[in-house]
Structure 1
Amino acid sequence: MKLKLAVSLFVIFCLNQSQAKEIAITFDDSPRHATGYFDGKTRALKLIEQLKQHDVPQVAFFSVSSRLDKEGIERLKLYANAGHVIANHTHNHPNFNQLTLAQYQENFLLADEKLSTFKNYKKWFRFPYLREGDTQEKRDGMRKTLADNGYLNAYITLNNYDWHIESLFQNTIKQGIAIDMQRMSQFYVEQLIDSINYYDELAIKHLGYSPKHVLLLHEMDISALFIGDLVTELRKQGWKIIPVEDAYTDKITDYQTTRIFKFNPGRVGEIARDKGQKKNLWHHSLDEKYLEQKFNQQVLMQ
């Protein structure tokens, strides 16, 4: 009887492990402008403290090398010295749809030169705006450039408009309007959790399993303020926070769509489109007017 119970418990444990939901956290645009609620150093220290306090393993900061003034350099050093990855997000965050292949390659290589001196630098590249080339020549040209330079295409699977939530937050403060931080946190967490669960369901639909997800966030004040609340809610819903390196061991890392996406929906969206899904490749919260309406209702209570 005891043996049967032990076997049953082991089977349940194995099933739970196979169904585990895993997520890695990344921050784009560092060192992002910091002229609002926090200054740059305060933001960095708060974000590092929150990640440590909530036992978040190594995250990645995809960085823009044109922002490496004295303060920007110090901010990236703080992240690197805390054990986090510094990676390439181009020199000045261009829109690939508006540049030639040669111009974009030059931009990428300049960032490689400037960022590679940082501790914990990894040859991971995140396309700004997730735009990977609106022609076959540009798409395939950058794929070759990344391969020739030993780079990983650091795709994302979980997309959102956290950058617009930041704008709503900062603009409200500039107007002198008091913000209830508890309501702000709830709004932020709710929007991100909804989009995360949506993309996970989309992945399961088309892959048959929940992949090791990569969450796109930005290095912003609301990230520093509320990342701990987001992590707490993720764990409450059964998610395991993993290092970014682990996420890029998933088999979808090697996936390459044959389609040309003028606007890329992320790796899960690419796969869904290639599997025949034509609509709803982006979660409904990736809409500025929607977020403004929800912000007014839930945060400002208007």
Structure 2
Amino acid sequence: MRWLLAMVLTLVAVPASAQDKRIAFTFDDAPRRAGAFLTQDERVTRLIKALRKARVAQAAFFVNPGHIVPSDPGAAARIDAYVAAGHVIANHSFSHPSLTDVTADAYLADIDAAETWLRGRPGYRALFRYPQLNEGRADKAKRDAVRAGLAARGLRNGYVTIDGYDWALENLTVEAARAGKAMDREALRDLYVETHVEAAEYFDGLARATHGRSPAHVLLLHETDLAALYLPDLVKALRRKGWRVATVDDAYADPIAAEASRYDVRSSQGTLTEMLAWQKGLPAPRWYARNDPQVLGKLFATRVLKEGVE
């Protein structure tokens, strides 16, 4: 087992220039509630401009149609604005249930409700992303039932290969704003960018250790104020590390996509990169260190809120 760990560490340390690294951008939970800094309309406008500025020609927004409610009459128009800007939309369930909390039949019915709103709309892609990346954890029978249901509906797994837990960082900003705490916005930007670049480098190393190559990666982000504010900085930093921006269509055409519906591990929740590394027997950890809200929380407290800093 020591030789295997040494191989992982060696491959993770391969210089960025040694591989042609590609990354596609995806955003979950649209339409999302308001964040700490922007209204929902402001966020969509700024995010579209940010994608254009960063030269991201095609991103994907995974939609929860159950969040399109009468109390938010502009929600559907905001989704349409992404499509009008050249981006695509896909299914993230109707009401965002966790698969481990409901039956397979109820889960598939929720997917169907989302498809009723999505299918046939401009920009639609037949992809489904599991809320919370929860594919049933240790419940193999439920996982297999949902996989069969997705196949019967012509839906592919909208997996991710890179996750920087941006939702946790966004939640921290919302909590700080509600508490009236001052935030160092430059430090927040730096923490956001640094975290996602490190996550990309880590998961690419893990993928190369697993497959011997760098696949076209899919980055998980959410429709957040942080993305709207800092996406150009993030893309610029990724390019400095040798990353090229891919379209979502190209990323999901990568051969690794075929493995998203057939891996079989003891517990299914997280990135596809982690699942496949687990299946191959690579040792833990198979996830980026900041995929832990407590770790991010401590960094946010010291660097953004300046707590404990004299």
State TM-score, norm by structure 1. 0.91
Distance apart, 1:176 and its partner CA: 2.4
Q: Which residue of 1 aligns with 2:269?
A: 264
User: 2: distance between equivalents of 1:231 and 1:36?
Assistant: 22
User: 2: distance between equivalents of 1:160 and 1:140?
Assistant: 27
Q: Which residue of 1 aligns with 2:96?
A: 93
Q: Which residue of 1 aligns with 2:128?
A: 125
User: 1: distance between equivalents of 2:18 and 2:90?
Assistant: 30
1:230 to 234, 250, 261: 234
User: 2: distance between equivalents of 1:132 and 1:215?
Assistant: 18
Identity %: 36
Q: Which residue of 2 aligns with 1:19?
A: 19
Q: CA RMSD in A?
A: 1.6
2:251 to 247, 255, 265: 247
Contact 2:35–2:224 under 8 Å retained in 1: no
Structure 1 residue 178 corresponds to structure 2 residue 182: yes
Which is greater in Rg?
Answer: 1
The 1:36–1:71 alpha-carbon spacing in structure 2 relative to 1, beyond 3 Å, is: farther
Q: Which residue of 2 aligns with 1:9?
A: none
Deviates more, 1:49-58 or 1:270-279: 270-279
SS state of the match for residue 269, structure 2? Answer: coil
Distance apart, 1:286 and its partner CA: 1.1
Contact 2:210–2:282 under 8 Å retained in 1: no
Gap regions ≥5 residues in structure 2: 1-15
Q: Which residue of 1 aligns with 2:86?
A: 83
Contact 1:24–1:247 under 8 Å retained in 2: yes
Q: Which residue of 1 aligns with 2:222?
A: 218
2:299 to 284, 294, 302: 294
SS state of the match for residue 298, structure 1? Answer: helix
User: 1: distance between equivalents of 2:271 and 2:227?
Assistant: 21
Q: Which residue of 2 aligns with 1:46?
A: 46
Contact 1:24–1:243 under 8 Å retained in 2: yes
SS state of the match for residue 214, structure 1? Answer: strand
How many residues in Structure 1 have an aligned counterpart in Structure 2? 286
Distance apart, 1:17 and its partner CA: 9.4
Q: Which residue of 2 aligns with 1:113?
A: 116
Structure 1 residue 149 corresponds to structure 2 residue 131: no
Deviates more, 1:112-121 or 1:155-164: 112-121
Deviates more, 1:276-285 or 1:25-34: 276-285
Contact 2:51–2:231 under 8 Å retained in 1: yes
Structure 1 residue 192 corresponds to structure 2 residue 208: no
Amino acid aligned to 1:176: G
Deviates more, 1:94-103 or 1:171-180: 171-180
Q: Which residue of 2 aligns with 1:169?
A: 173
Gap regions ≥5 residues in structure 1: 1-15
1:104 to 104, 107, 114: 107
User: 2: distance between equivalents of 1:288 and 1:184?
Assistant: 15
Contact 1:265–1:281 under 8 Å retained in 2: no
Contact 1:64–1:91 under 8 Å retained in 2: yes
Contact 1:54–1:231 under 8 Å retained in 2: yes
